[in-house]
Structure 1
Amino acid sequence: MASTTQNASTLNSNTNPLIPEEGSLLQQPKAVWAVFFACIIAFMGLGLVDPILPAIAEQLDATHSQVTLLFTSYNAVMAVAMLITGMISSRVGIKWTLLAGIVIIAIFSALGGFSSDIWALVGLRGGWGLGNALFVATALAAIVSLSNSGTAKAIILYEAAIGLGISVGPLLGGWLGAMSWRGPFLGVAALMVIAFIGLSILMPKSHSKNTAKSKTSLMDPFRALKHRSLLVFGIAAALYNFGFFTLLAYAPFVMGLDEHGLGLVFLGWGILLAVTSVFMAPKLGEWFGTIKSMSIMLILFALLLGAMGIWTSTQWVVIASVILAGALLGNNNTLITTAVMNAAPVERSTASAAYSFLRFIGGAIAPFMAGKLAEIYNPSVPFIVGAVFVLISVVFIWFNYKHVNHVDSVESAH
């Protein structure tokens, strides 16, 4: 999610502020709505499998740590793929990159629906991550370029698609998962076929391929990490993602709910995440500054994880903590994205790729680690360890404060 907002900033920075932005948010060409619909489906992938994790473990005779690998493979492939999406889209164009992402998601989610082995499912989920990386890295560029209401309103439309996808994903996963754990995988594949047809027909041909001068190099994100500020935020995001994905991947196992119940809990989580990321986070940054607001959100999130670790066997505490965490994570995602965009004097798309690479590494390690900690010790330990990692991210940011404090002055200048 954060990386998509970063791409928004990239496009927004290239807009002429002297040109007035006219047009209603809802009066868009059909091509924009086709991309919007496809975005919702793509972002469902983040929380779609949450409600069916216990069912997969039971029906495929898998351990909790093996099932959490569905998040690990997805995020690991996403991390690597984020480094190449810019290189690909700058050569084949936005439309073909979007369509390629949709095809890959459809194929791997469908194959996952027919799988009968946990290891095959883990591998196929990684393929889904590749398709998702290709799609989300370029979808915003498509919406902005096709929209007739200006960049700012196009970005709001895109953020709405993110929110709907993250919110509806667990609900759909719970509904389809109540019939069979295979349902969510096959459902996404079917929806992606519809999205592919819609984009193929409604989206115009991409602009001509970029010139060699504007082509993105594979090494550009690595060169960007030479900037201390960008490296600090990337490492901090990797650390707090230990908490984020411990909650997302392991909490379903301790709530004691069926597929419908888990879907509703994560629906509440997703709604709060979406609303706060769009409406509340900018206000917090304006009132308290980006770094201070981000640190407050992370400390509160660590406290919630700590409460989940202490009262793991108290169902209502875990459920309430998961839902409330959505608000804290929504705020933090937007705040740290804002910080990343103002962190270093590099192309914002390059900063996005470098940051996303580090961020998703944390998201890849955390789910499997949470499952193994629970198996070795007890179900409370993953949440306590996640809380510690989140607190370390705050300490790390403040230890490097002199390298990152310029982001608030840059933001206020805008």
Structure 2
Amino acid sequence: MSKMESLKSETLENDRTGQPRAVWAIAFACVISFMGLGLVDPILPAISHQLNATASQTSLLFSSYNLVTGIAMLVTGFISSRMGVKWTMMTGTLFIIAFSFLGGMSGSIGQLVGFRAGWGLGNALFIATALSAIVGLSTKGSAKAVILYEAALGLGISVGPLLGGELGSISWRGPFIGVSALMAIAFISVGLLMPKVPKQQNRSKLSDPFKALRYPGLLVLAITAFLYNFGFFTLMAYTPFVMNLDEHGLGYVFFGWGILLAITSVFVAPRLQRRFGSIPSMSVALLLFALTLLAMGIWTSSQTTVIVSVIVAGAFLGTNNTLITTAVMEAAPVERSTASAAYSFVRFIGGALAPWLAGKLAEWYNPHVPFYVGAAFVVVAVLVVLLGRGFLRHVDSAAGH
């Protein structure tokens, strides 16, 4: 095929899909990457039982992962502006492959928590770069690019628990090794399908994410995410211990949760944004999520109530995730990768504290308290959004453009 024919073929492909081939290659890798998060949920009780760990100790699998991810987010822009988007993503993928496999070989909860921290480093390099790459390469605007990213997130999270439940029913080590194999596929797909992306002309500095947080709009969104992540990771890390289900059952519950998350991310959130605006829609979604956590706190002993609440919460979280991620991309006049890094740093710190705190609250008091505390944090997140809405008036028009 001649160079002209090759260019024509690529152009026709872009016309059919509406997006460059590179965007789809990254989205495919994101699906596999996010499957890794959902794979772990169904096996949390099994890990706790077989490694003789308490719920709070097992929840450190999320804490170490999120803590390292959040801190590493501060250097993703610095690294990617020097290595390039493609090689940064592939390096992150290699870290995930290695540390997830080592996690599957662990002999104690301490080793597993440590390897999850290494996994978090790879996750930071991959996710922050993937989001900014999809937005930067998209020909359909940042709002639709974020929807594609959130759809990949929802699809990966929804399918992951099913696979995790199947592999986890054989051994709790199975999902970790499964993640390693899946990310090997992602590594190959990015390497083969994604073309070389030009490096940024202006290299990022280590101080850029901190400087970005000086913009009030971005800071408001970061604090909001920090707070609502207490509710999010209470649901993710703590509910498996109170549902009293086996690996298959937990896999089906979180599959339903992920399906609703994906549907609302792609179809519901954009319509709410266009009709009501980002801030009102975000506030209502978070308030409904807080009420769902409150219901789980009141009726913790009701297995049916907790299961239904977890699944329904996916709708509110999917809506909010798309709305807040779209707003972040337009909240400050900085590089999108820098905005994503600054926001994610603050957000993941909340995600690091919440799982451990939920487990400890249950040990110190009773199984109801983690849900009450999670709901309270989400309510405060709503107040922060409403009080800071004056700094976010421009995000809807910018995202739409």
* TM-score of the aligned structures, taking structure 2 as reference length: 0.90
Alignment counterpart, residue 110 of structure 2, candidates 119, 125, 146: 119
Q: Which residue in 2 is equivalent to 1:10?
A: none
When residues 292 and 122 of structure 1 are mapped into structure 2, their CA distance, relative to the original with a 3 A threshold, is: same
Residues 317 and 61 of structure 1: is their aligned pair in 2 closer, same or farther, counting only changes over 3 Å? same
Alignment-derived partner of residue 261 in structure 2: 273
Give 1:335 deviation, angstroms: 1.4
Aligned to 1:197: 188
- The size of the alignment, in residue pairs, is 390
Task: Please give the alpha-carbon distance, in whole angstroms, between the structure 1 residues aligned to 2:320 and 2:140.
Answer: 26
2:15 to 15, 23, 30: 23
Q: 1:26 and 1:175 mapped to 2: Cα distance? A: 36
Aligned to 1:304: 292
Deviation of the 1:201 alpha carbon: 4.0
**Aligned residue type for 1:215:** R
Residue ranges of structure 2 left out of the alignment (5+ in a row): 1-10
The verdict on how the C-alpha distance between 1:410 and 1:189 changes in structure 2, with shifts beyond 3 A counting, is closer
Contact 1:39/1:165 (<8 A) preserved: yes
1:404 aligns with 2:392: yes
How far 1:26 sits from its partner (Å)?
8.9
DSSP 3-state at the match of 2:52: coil
Bigger Cα displacement from structure 2, 351-360 vs 173-182: 351-360
Q: Distance in 1 between matches of 2:288 and 2:89?
A: 37
Distance 1:270 1:343 in 2: 27
> How many Å separate the matches in 1 of 2:357 and 2:322?
26
Q: 2:127 aligned with 1:136, yes or no? A: yes
3-state SS of 1:216 partner = coil
From 329, 340, 346, the counterpart of 2:317: 329
Contact 1:22–1:150 (CA under 8 A) maintained in structure 2: no
Q: Could you tell me the TM-score, scaled by structure 1's length?
A: 0.87
Q: Which moved more, 1:115-124 or 1:398-407?
A: 398-407
**Could you say which residue in structure 1 is the equivalent of 2:334?**
346
User: Deviation of residue 292 (structure 1)?
Assistant: 1.0
Single out whichever of 321-330 and 189-198 deviates more from structure 2.
189-198
Query: Which residue in the other structure is 2:178 paired with?
Result: 187
Q: Which moved more, 1:39-48 or 1:254-263?
A: 39-48
- Contact map agreement 1:21 1:150 (CA 8 A) in 2: no
CA gap of 1:63–1:349, structure 2 versus 1, over 3 A, is: same
Within 2, Cα distance between the matches of 1:198 and 1:291?
37
Equivalent-residue separation in structure 2 for 1:256 and 1:220 (angstroms): 46
Q: Give, in whole Å, the separation in 1 of the partners of 2:335 and 2:164.
A: 37
Q: Distance in 2 between matches of 1:21 and 1:190?
A: 29
Any idea what SS the aligned residue of 2:351 has? helix
Question: What is the Cα deviation at residue 390 of structure 1?
Answer: 0.5
Deviation at 1:33, TM superposition (A): 5.8
Alignment-derived partner of residue 69 in structure 1: 60
Quote how far apart the aligned CAs of 1:160 are.
Answer: 3.7
Gap regions ≥5 residues in structure 1: 1-18
- Confirm or deny that 1:263 pairs with 2:251: yes
Which one of the candidate residues 215, 220, 226 is aligned to 1:227?
A: 215
Is 2:88 aligned against 1:100? no
Q: Distance in 1 between matches of 2:23 and 2:272?
A: 30
Q: Which residue pairs with 2:238 in the alignment?
A: 250
CA contact (8 A) 2:150 2:321 kept: no
Residues 151, 340 of structure 1: alpha-carbon distance in 2 compared, 3 angstrom cutoff = closer
CA distance in 2, matches of 1:215, 1:310: 51
SS in 1 for 2:15: coil
Deviation (angstroms), 1:118: 0.3
- Evaluate the alpha carbon distance shift between residue 375 and residue 98 of structure 1 in structure 2; reply closer, same or farther with a 3 A threshold: same
Answer yes or no: is the 8 Å Cα contact 2:64–2:117 preserved in 1: yes
**Are the aligned partners of 1:109 and 1:125 in contact in 2 as well (CA < 8 Å)?**
yes
Percent identical residues: 66
2:306 to 318, 330, 339: 318
Residue 407 to residue 193, structure 1, CA distance change in 2 (3 Å): closer
Secondary structure of 2:39's counterpart equals coil
The structural deviation recorded for 1:135 is 1.2
1:86-116 deviation per Cα after TM superposition (whole angstroms, max 9, x unaligned): 1111111122112111110010000000001
State the shift of 1:306 in Å. 0.4
C-alpha change, 1:28 and 1:176, in structure 2 (3 Å) is farther
Q: Secondary structure at the match of 1:378?
A: coil
Q: Deviations over 1:24-55 (max 9, x none)?
A: 129975x7665444222211122221100000
1:287 alignment partner AA: R
The answer to whether the 8 Å contact 2:158/2:258 transfers is yes
Pick closer, same or farther for the CA change 1:344–1:250 going to 2, 3 Å. Answer: same
User: Match of 1:49, SS?
Assistant: helix
> 3-state DSSP class of the match of 2:300?
coil
Q: Which amino acid aligns with 1:386?
A: G
Output the CA distance in 2 between the equivalents of 1:274 and 1:235.
Answer: 24
Tell me, in whole angstroms, the C-alpha distance in 2 between the residues paired with 1:234 and 1:382.
Answer: 22
Does residue 177 (structure 1) correspond to residue 165 (structure 2)? The answer is: no
The 8 Å contact of residues 173 and 184 in structure 1, kept in 2 or not, is answered as yes
Matched residue type, 1:188: V
Q: Partners of 2:49 and 2:374 in 1: how far apart?
A: 25
Deviates more, 1:277-286 or 1:396-405: 396-405
**2:147–2:265: 8 Å Cα contact kept in structure 1?**
no
In the TM superposition, residue 284 of structure 1 has moved relative to its aligned partner by 0.8
